[in-house]
Structure 1
């Protein structure tokens, strides 16, 4: 049965592939037992057991041992574990383990597509894999840090200077980002050259839940402006007022020659005009409340750079949560537009919430790397840092409050972004017709 469902085609019906797959499953099973019974390494054993369960889903779901994932990919996912088992030491670089994480993320994408209402194209799955690999690095390190703080373990906080630990984590984030991008490129090649069209059994038809597929996400009349109980005129005045204050902050930075204030106030001021440009050039509807939301986030960050970060302890957490909520809103609008644009992609609300979290964590990793790079450059150049980090605790708290912003957007803000998502979907249609 010819089909363009390449993601479904990842599930192979081949006796040769199945034979090699089951050999790897056997090796992985032995590894899990060895890690628990002999080495006492429960953490690695759990990771291997999770991989084992994910790998076994297709043959169990189809009740057919010949329907399996590609053995080459299973081998790559097993490689870091088998290497440590045979050689006795982990890889000297984290790129290979994070490539394995990317493979696991691809397996999850395939199985979500095949066995749940979620639908993805192989291109969407590749983007999901890249984002998930970066997000996994954030989750893994935040989890270790929380364990150290709450339970006294020493995964990260092992007596080294907090700045040294933070630098090590930034290097790991770099490896995860590189691995995610490399895996995305490799998977694109893999889908084009290695994966055949899905068979009659593995083909997954588009998900079509009737009217829900076309229903708007927003409830009629529940605009952000109305829920804020502020008139549109008042919200526009508040936005203009913050733009004026940002102009004053910028002038203060120029007057005092304070580079961080100049840079942050300039960027914030520019961002406040972006919604108007989007509305004018792309015809994306920008609710005044949405514009106010974006303006408040960049406004508070600019004030922080002008001195409030040092003067008010929680200010950094507040701005990270607000900024993350804006990033989450942008991610949601983009994903929702793709969801509406094509029947080949269907993102149910629960999965959309997860996707927003993954997107924000990945964006958080990029942001922390940017802060680290700018901070290190400023130290070496002997100039004030436009963005700065303050040890591993600061980085981990930033990522945690990024999740708070993502959660707020997922449970409260998405309903108000439907107009933007609908308009983006229409733009996709117009661009596709050209």
Structure 2
């Protein structure tokens, strides 16, 4: 993380280390002050930040192996603001800019000290995703603290809707900060000449010389439950016919919500066929059924099951999250297999997928919140609606559950899909 990682000289590394240790000393003092004052949220956040800052030096046993001092200053701003000024108008966005800076420090640490390899665009994407994921995790943690310990961090004396609004505003700050950090860090890493280490080994899951190429992974459903492709296809068609029926019903009764949800869901179910026909992307029948089922169940919920069955929303969120996780896994794994500059071992891939789903969950909740506000402002029925902070937190938790299922049970199958996707892309380029 010192000069050899960012193209600096030994002298520059020494100056950088000196400035970094001054910032660390300041933060240690402020962290102790926050702990004595009983501000345990800031005490915890600052303590984690300090640990991540000094991790490279501790791992290498080299006091010069410190992150760039500019990043540490960015991390220090909200801590100084909270400890000395008591918080100002810039505090919410500054906090998430600090989170983004810590995410960048962690990303470069991982790139430097492990077998993980990331190029500059992938690193920036990871920073933005991690910032949104931290926003989700932090708010869920506050909600759990309020429910279990009786604190008032998020809910307190607020109503469900007021607490949910506060969470959405925090999500908005995280989104703004993540986007700003993405722009700033792109130029910063380019100026610092961040690039993959050319001499670092890049392990690949390829057969040894003289060894036969392994057989493709068996179909996830057909290979385990003896279900034919034709039967899966009929199952998909049946759901599509029901969606057509719901669309017609919505048009007849002039129900805008049903029309919108059914039309969007129906369009989504035809997306795999469009991708396979126009771009020759390998779409397995199981993936088509997976996507169609998620869209189908959501449309049934919007048609009335969300109100009749309290757990229907839980089911659709978990299934949709597993689909988002599967999509993220396939795309990232394809990049991993296709690019020599990116390598993510399976454990790292699982962690990335969990961050990815949490980040998508934040964006989705913001979309629901915006539609809710628009519906209230212009007096129409919202296509997507929120029902208080408990509902939102429940959605995020079941999103995470769906991500865990996809990242574990579907990993082998999705890896094979990613390999075939890379082969198709290579064939098109050839």
Match of 1:119 in 2: 117
Aligned counterpart, 2:157: 159
In structure 2, relative to structure 1, the CA distance for the partners of 1:350 and 1:10 (3 Å cut) is: farther
How many Å apart are 1:32 and its aligned residue?
2.1
Out of 125, 135, 138, which is 1:137 matched to? 135
1:368 equivalent in alignment to 2:365: yes
TM-superposed deviation, 1:424: 3.2
Matches within 5 A, 1:63-78: 63-78=61-76
Deviation at 1:152, TM superposition (A): 2.2
2:354 aligned partner: 357
Contact residue 133 and residue 359 of structure 2 kept, 8 A: yes
Secondary structure, aligned partner of 2:18: helix
Query: Is the alpha carbon distance of 1:145 and 1:196 closer, same or farther for their aligned partners in structure 2, counting shifts above 3 Å?
Result: closer
TM-superposed deviation, 1:305: 0.5
Note the residue ranges of structure 2 that are not aligned, 5 or more in a row: none
TM-superposed deviation, 1:299 = 0.2
TM-score with structure 2 length normalisation? 0.92
Once the two structures are superposed, residues 274-329 of structure 1 have per-residue CA deviations (whole angstroms, 9 ceiling, x without a partner) of 11111112212222111111111100000000000001100000000001111111
> Which residue of the partner structure matches residue 3 of structure 1?
none
Deviation at 1:28, TM superposition (A): 1.2
CA-CA distance at 1:93 after TM superposition: 4.6
- Residue 220 of structure 1: aligned partner: 217
What is the CA–CA distance in structure 2 between the aligned matches of 1:213 and 1:74, rounded to whole Å?
Answer: 44
- What pairs with 1:268-307 in structure 2 (closer than 5 Å)? 268-307=265-304
Q: Which residue of 2 aligns with 1:105?
A: 103
Distance, in Å, in 2 between the alignment partners of 1:311 and 1:276 is 33
Flag as ranges the 4+ runs of structure 1 deviating above 6 A: 212-219
Cα distance between partner residues in 2 of 1:391 and 1:314 = 16
Q: 2:397 aligns with which of 394, 397, 400?
A: 400
Q: Which residue of 1 aligns with 2:318?
A: 321
Match of 1:181 among 160, 170, 179: 179
Gaps of at least 5 residues in structure 1 are: 1-5
Task: State the shift of 1:240 in Å.
Answer: 0.2
Which residue number in structure 1 is paired with residue 53 of structure 2?
55
**Alpha-carbon separation, structure 2, partners of 1:172 and 1:395:** 13
CA deviations on 1:334-375 (whole Å, 9 max, x unpaired) are: 100011011221111111111111111111111101111111
Tell me if structure 2 keeps the 8 A contact 1:246–1:265.
Answer: yes
Residue equivalent to 2:406: 409
Q: 1:150 to 1:137 in 2, by over 3 A?
A: same
Residues 197 and 253 of structure 1: CA distance in aligned 2, closer, same or farther (over 3 Å): closer
Indicate the residue corresponding to 2:16 in structure 1.
17
Aligned pairs, number:
425
C-alpha spacing 1:308/1:76, structure 2 compared with 1 (3 Å): same
Q: 1:209 to 1:298 in 2, by over 3 A?
A: closer
Paired residues of 2:369 and 2:385 also in contact (CA < 8 A): yes
Please give the alpha-carbon distance, in whole angstroms, between the structure 1 residues aligned to 2:126 and 2:120: 10
Query: 1:374 touches 1:386 (CA, 8 Å); kept in 2?
Result: yes
Which residue, out of 233, 258, 263, partners 2:260? 263
Structure 2 distance, partners of 1:71, 1:220, is: 47
> Does structure 2 retain, via aligned residues, the 8 Å contact 1:246–1:299?
yes
Secondary structure of 2:259 counterpart: helix
Give the whole-Å Cα distance in 2 for the aligned partners of 1:65 and 1:384: 60
Alpha-carbon distance between aligned partners in 2 of 1:353 and 1:171, rounded to the nearest angstrom: 29
Equivalent in 233, 237, 240 of residue 240 of structure 1: 237
How big is the shift at 1:31? 1.6
- The offset of 1:90, in angstroms, is 4.7
Paired residues of 1:7 and 1:110 also in contact (CA < 8 A): no
CA–CA separation in structure 1 for the residues paired with 2:373 and 2:99? 29
Q: Which residue of 1 aligns with 2:86?
A: 88
- The separation in 2 between residues aligned to 1:218 and 1:395, in whole angstroms, is 43
1:198-217 to structure 2, matched below 5 A, reads 205-208=200-203, 211=206
Q: 1:47 & 1:392 partners in 2: Cα distance?
A: 23
User: TM-score under structure 1 normalisation?
Assistant: 0.92
Cα pair 2:358 2:400 within 8 Å, conserved: yes
Q: CA RMSD in A?
A: 2.5
Contact 1:218 1:418 in 2 (8 A): no
- Contact 1:25/1:52 (<8 A) preserved: yes
* Contact 1:217 1:415 (C-alpha < 8 Å) held by counterparts: no
Question: Match of 1:284, SS?
Answer: coil
Distance of aligned partners of 1:190 and 1:12 in 2 relative to their CA distance in 1, 3 Å threshold: farther
